[in-house]
Amino acid sequence: MRAHRVFAAVYDRMAASAERHVLGERRQRLLGGLTGRVLDVGAGTGVNLDHVRGADELVLAEPDPAMRAKLHRKLDRAHVPVRVSEAAAEALPFEDASFDAVVCSLVLCTVTDPARALAEARRVLRPGGTLVLLEHVRGTGGQARWQDRVTPLWKRLGAGCHPNRNTRAAVENAGFTLTRVDETLIGPRWVPVSPLLEATARPS
Ligand SMILES: C[S@@+](CC[C@H](N)C(=O)[O-])C[C@H]1O[C@@H](n2cnc3c(N)ncnc32)[C@H](O)[C@@H]1O
């Protein structure tokens, strides 16, 4: 994958207010209780490091070299043993059923092939394991049409981010059952990265 240097350089500063007001508490709720082996797909600059506290091991998979460089600089914040991988979500170099939890936070909007990424997440999750989702998703009606219109420009500015993906349907189509779902508008309807889906799912 090519390095998105500017995106990586500004990501933490750009997201700081959203982390404080919207995302941080959700990450805490979703990640604070995870145990066993945990895989963070598209780990970015390592924002989830602060929140995973009970795992035996946290594997951080991040294919973008610029984001990975930022991530490496944050590893001393980890509360649990960590390992960094260059793997893309669509081709995870891990054994079947080798993780207790797979985390996708703000990443299924960006991966090249969400269906393949979710199939890989399902493959590496043990039976009864947990898929953790914190994703901005497609709205409804006029909001969805607006998201479709802004997606070409948004993708260019946001390192490949699609605001118009129906991630909840993709998760269900990939053979997961949602076990906890909260979908909330996090701003006015013209904000492309709203609604926000906070959910957990299990392989069906
Ligand atoms: C918006 S950032 C989110 C980072 C982090 N998960 C978070 O919650 O802050 C999206 C991340 O997905 C990564 N990404 C893009 N395509 C990917 C792929 N095919 N497989 C895995 N990660 C990917 C990007 O490099 C970037 O780090």
Length of the chain: 204
C-alpha torsion angle, residues 71, 77, 80, 81 (rounded to 10): 50
Which residue's alpha carbon is at the smallest distance from atom 4 of ligand 1?
Answer: 44
The SS3 of residue 74 is coil
CA-CA distance, 101 to 126, in Å (whole number)?
8
pLDDT confidence of residue 70: 97
For the chain, percent of residues with pLDDT exceeding 70: 100
The SS3 of residue 132 is strand
Convert the pLDDT of each residue in 55-88 to its tens digit.
999 999 999 999 999 999 999 999 999 999 999 9
CATH, domain 5-203, list 3.40.50.150, 3.90.1150.10, 1.10.10.10, 3.40.50.300: 3.40.50.150
Q: Give me the phi and psi of 186, to 5 degrees please.
A: -115, 20
Q: Give me the phi and psi of 28, to 5 degrees please.
A: -60, -45
Residues at CB less than 6 angstroms from ligand 1: 41-44, 47, 62-64, 67, 88-90, 105-107, 110-112, 160
The pTM (predicted TM-score) of the whole model is: 0.96
48 CA distance to ligand 1 middle (Å): 12
Ligand 1 atom index nearest CA of 112? 19
Beta bridge partners of 132: 103, 200
DSSP state of 136: E
At 133, is the pLDDT very low, low, confident or very high (cuts 50, 70, 90)? very high
C-beta contacts of 176-181 below 8 A and 24+ residues apart = 176/118, 176/122, 176/131, 176/201, 176/202, 176/203, 176/204, 177/201, 177/202, 177/203, 177/204, 179/130
Region 7-17: what's the mean pLDDT? 95
Contact 169, 181 (CB under 8 A): no
pLDDT confidence of residue 1: 85
Which residue's alpha carbon is at the smallest distance from atom 13 of ligand 1?
Answer: 42
178 CA distance to ligand 1 middle (Å): 22
At 188, is the pLDDT very low, low, confident or very high (cuts 50, 70, 90)? confident
At 46, is the pLDDT very low, low, confident or very high (cuts 50, 70, 90)? very high
Contact 108, 118 (CB under 8 A): yes
